[in-house]
Amino acid sequence: MDPKLNNLIEDFLHDGSALLAEMRETGRTISAHGMHSSETRPREGILPSGATFSLHGIGCRFERPDGTVVEVDLGPRDRLDGVDAWRLFEFAQSTHRKDFGRMEEVEGALKVATLNGELQKCDDPPWHHLFFPTRTK
């Protein structure tokens, strides 16, 4: 995989996992199915680190105090390793990365990684926009 895309995906997934873990530590459990339910707890809030969260559909938008935006969608069976161009681009912009200055660059890199068999596009709704790694390290 292109090293720049690989680094972007790894950093995005690392930050997303850390923020979801912090959310779980506050006693809130989330899953792709649970986010569709009518939960009585607030769908927005602030985590102990100061990061804000906003639950939506099958995902959660986090924003750290430094401005880093991590928009996570939970995939099939609550997979956390799904990415798409929009979420990666927003993360890249919020972390001031120079590698991907335009959305089309992220889309192109994802397409190449898919053609090379390094990522697989999910065909199942509502996750049809997500790409998942095809192999682990």
| Domain carrying residue 48 | 3-133
Q: Model confidence at 37, in pLDDT bands (50, 70, 90)?
A: very low
The reported pTM is 0.89
Mean pLDDT to the nearest integer, 108-131: 93
Mean pLDDT to the nearest integer, 44-56: 93
Mean pLDDT to the nearest integer, 113-122: 95
Total structural domains in the chain?
1
Checking 50-58 for CB contacts under 8 A at 24+ apart, the result is 51/19, 51/22, 53/19, 53/23, 55/30, 57/126, 58/32, 58/126, 58/127
Mean pLDDT to the nearest integer, 27-49: 71
